Amino acid sequence: MKKKLLLSLGILVLVFSSCDDKDDDYAEYLVARPLIMSKAEFATSLSIEVPRPIDESGKVYTYQDYIFINDKSQGIHVIDNSNPQQPRKVSFIKIPGNVDISIKDNFLYADSLMDLVVLDISDIDNIKPVNRLENVLGNYVFFPFGADIVEYTNFDYDTEIVIGWQTVTERRLIEEVEQTRIDFFNDAALAESTNGGDTGQGGSLARFKIVDDFLYAVDSHNINIFNISDLENPQDLEDVYAGFDIETIFNRDNHLFLGSMRGMYIYDISSPATPTFVSEFQHGTACDPVVVDGDYAYVTLRGGNECGALDSGLFIVDISNIESPELAVDYPMDEPYGLGIKDEKLFICDGGSGLKVYDKTDVNNLISLNHFKNIVTFDVIPLESHLIMVGDEVLYQYEYLDDDIKLISQIGLN
């Protein structure tokens, strides 16, 4: 059946201030429209293509001399980083509905909505799909809560599927938008550890994590578990229910740390096929990636729009007693996304406020080492040799200094 719906997010309170515009009846709105594909095309849509401009940069992953950057809901850009001062675009792996990847021994695992696909990347110039497990993952297409308006147009639920969202800024008549919002609600009222094998490294926003012979992939409620001892033929094991609004996963030793909009969940993977709950740390509703170092878990909370909470910050949680995590200290931030740690350096991607670098020797007294302003930041990967960061369709790489870092290269992805 065909449906047509225009809605404005009533979760948000839109405030319009007077300005010098000649026409005060109009305002700028962020409009989201679904990326739609036929179900038949989706099943056969994976392909290897020449490099192309990125549409919206997502998560970043490194493996050997290569960097893999997700193009939200569309696929993966492959970059040769054998010379970090001159990274080179290699190819684009088209995977509709893709958000995350993880790699072990030249086999790349990626989500394609509810499917898990496997690719052989042993020859980076001749990447080959080798397997596809259908309907083994939760459908992880986020609703675009950050948009002011969401438009569905001529979408056939029987034969088509939403693989993601495209957002643009448009000028709209305020009265019409507000009326649509009212009509919608009236209608609604009626109705990182060392693992065996050669694995790569993802950022703090990752939902995929390989630990030895197991791939863990979290959706909003579950840990999806795959035995990958046979790399080409993952075995889908029974999911473990883990909580609500889970967003990220981090591994240290025999524990998984799950970041959610409600808090941090800790699971024991001593028996890797059956993770067991250990403890949780709760906070107010906010977007929440986690990294762990020593006796502390570092959690960034991003408030506003889609995340629920009003305030943003860095929470440092004492996990010396893994069964009873406690807040040690918190610091205000503007709109933090990913974060990373290298030795005593803490890196925080604070959204439009740039990249912030701290000395974390004393967690109760973080010392600012540098603040790279005037850039939009999303996630970081602290490698042994240098730092990789992605944000606003740009890949940045930094050299570690004793008490600082220095930009060594950047490449536009669009």
What is residue 191's predicted lDDT score, i.e. its pLDDT? Answer: 37
**186 and 307, same domain (yes or no):** no
What is residue 309's predicted lDDT score, i.e. its pLDDT? Answer: 56
Q: Over 90: is that where the pLDDT of 294 sits? A: yes
One DSSP character per residue, 86-149 reads S-EEEEEEE-TT---EEEETTEEEEEETTEEEEEE-SSTTS-EEEEEETT-S-------TT-SE
What's the chain's average pLDDT?
Answer: 84
pLDDT tens figures, 367-387? 999 999 989 999 999 999 999
**368 and 298, same domain (yes or no):** yes
Q: Give bridge partners of residue 411 from the DSSP assignment.
A: 395
How far apart, in whole angstroms, are the C-alpha atoms of residue 138 and residue 113?
A: 7
How far apart, in whole angstroms, are the C-alpha atoms of residue 315 and residue 267?
A: 20
What is residue 48's predicted lDDT score, i.e. its pLDDT? Answer: 95
In the chain, pLDDT over 90 holds for what percent of residues?
A: 57
Asked whether the beta carbons of 275 and 265 are under 8 A apart, the reply is no
What is residue 232's predicted lDDT score, i.e. its pLDDT? Answer: 97
pLDDT tens figures, 190-232? 335 445 678 889 988 899 999 999 999 999 889 999 999 999 9
Q: CATH number of the domain that 346 lies in?
A: 2.130.10.10
Residue position matching structure tokens 């499917």: 115
User: What global pTM score does this model have?
Assistant: 0.80
Residue position matching structure tokens 């799909």: 129
Select the more confidently predicted residue: 406 or 139.
406
**289 and 321, same domain (yes or no):** yes
pLDDT tens figures, 58-71? 899 999 999 999 99
Query: What is the average per-residue pLDDT within 99-103?
Result: 95
Angle at 84 between CA 87 and CA 350, to 5 degrees: 95
How far apart, in whole angstroms, are the C-alpha atoms of residue 213 and residue 131?
A: 17
**255 and 323, same domain (yes or no):** yes
Q: Over 80: is that where the pLDDT of 93 sits? A: yes
How far apart, in whole angstroms, are the C-alpha atoms of residue 223 and residue 256?
A: 10
**Domain closes at, from 190, 219, 254:** 190
- What is the span of the domain harbouring residue 28? 2-44+141-190
**152 and 263, same domain (yes or no):** no
pLDDT tens figures, 72-81? 889 999 999 9
**123 and 268, same domain (yes or no):** yes
How far apart, in whole angstroms, are the C-alpha atoms of residue 182 and residue 170?
A: 20
How far apart, in whole angstroms, are the C-alpha atoms of residue 167 and residue 154?
A: 18
Query: What is the average per-residue pLDDT within 80-97?
Result: 94
Nearest to 82 by CA among 62, 101, 100: 62
Q: Over 80: is that where the pLDDT of 138 sits? A: no
Q: With cut-offs at 50, 70 and 90, classify the pLDDT of residue 153.
A: low
What is residue 217's predicted lDDT score, i.e. its pLDDT? Answer: 96
Q: Over 80: is that where the pLDDT of 187 sits? A: no
What is residue 72's predicted lDDT score, i.e. its pLDDT? Answer: 86
Kindly report which listed range (34-38, 289-293, 365-369, 387-391) carries the lowest average pLDDT score: 34-38
Select the more confidently predicted residue: 181 or 336.
336
Residue position matching structure tokens 């397997």: 131
Could you give the count of Cα atoms lying within 13 Å of 271 in the half-sphere of its Cβ?
Answer: 6
**367 and 274, same domain (yes or no):** yes
Select the more confidently predicted residue: 113 or 16.
113
Nearest to 272 by CA among 251, 254, 252: 254
Q: Over 90: is that where the pLDDT of 177 sits? A: no
Q: Give bridge partners of residue 168 from the DSSP assignment.
A: 31
How far apart, in whole angstroms, are the C-alpha atoms of residue 305 and residue 325?
A: 28
What is residue 163's predicted lDDT score, i.e. its pLDDT? Answer: 74
How far apart, in whole angstroms, are the C-alpha atoms of residue 395 and residue 267?
A: 33
Nearest to 160 by CA among 261, 45, 241: 45
Query: What is the average per-residue pLDDT within 1-11?
Result: 39
Q: Over 70: is that where the pLDDT of 143 sits? A: no
How far apart, in whole angstroms, are the C-alpha atoms of residue 305 and residue 280?
A: 25
How far apart, in whole angstroms, are the C-alpha atoms of residue 264 and residue 248?
A: 10
**34 and 102, same domain (yes or no):** no
Select the more confidently predicted residue: 349 or 310.
349
**60 and 8, same domain (yes or no):** no
What is residue 80's predicted lDDT score, i.e. its pLDDT? Answer: 96
What is residue 197's predicted lDDT score, i.e. its pLDDT? Answer: 75
What is residue 41's predicted lDDT score, i.e. its pLDDT? Answer: 72
Tokens of 241: 């229910």
Q: Over 70: is that where the pLDDT of 20 sits? A: no
What is residue 164's predicted lDDT score, i.e. its pLDDT? Answer: 72
- Distances in whole angstroms, Cα of residue 266 to Cα of each of 196, 217, 243: 22, 15, 11
**201 and 329, same domain (yes or no):** yes
Backbone angles phi, psi at 352, to 5 degrees: -70, -10
Query: What is the average per-residue pLDDT within 256-265?
Result: 89
What is residue 304's predicted lDDT score, i.e. its pLDDT? Answer: 61
Domain count, the chain: 2
Q: Give bridge partners of residue 235 from the DSSP assignment.
A: 227
What is residue 181's predicted lDDT score, i.e. its pLDDT? Answer: 52
**173 and 299, same domain (yes or no):** no
Tokens of 317: 């949680």
Q: Over 60: is that where the pLDDT of 188 sits? A: no
Q: Position 160: which residue type?
A: E
**Domain closes at, from 190, 208, 228:** 190
How far apart, in whole angstroms, are the C-alpha atoms of residue 387 and residue 290?
A: 18
Distance of CA 256 to the CA centre of its chain: 17
What is residue 111's predicted lDDT score, i.e. its pLDDT? Answer: 94
Query: What is the average per-residue pLDDT within 177-181?
Result: 63
What is residue 136's predicted lDDT score, i.e. its pLDDT? Answer: 93
Helix (H) or strand (E) holding 175: helix 174-190
Non-local CB neighbours of 59 within 8 Å, separated by 6+ positions? 69, 70, 99, 100, 101, 202, 203, 205, 206, 379, 390
**62 and 32, same domain (yes or no):** no
Tokens of 158: 């029987």
pLDDT tens figures, 295-339? 999 998 876 655 555 678 899 999 999 999 999 999 999 989 899
Helix (H) or strand (E) holding 182: helix 174-190
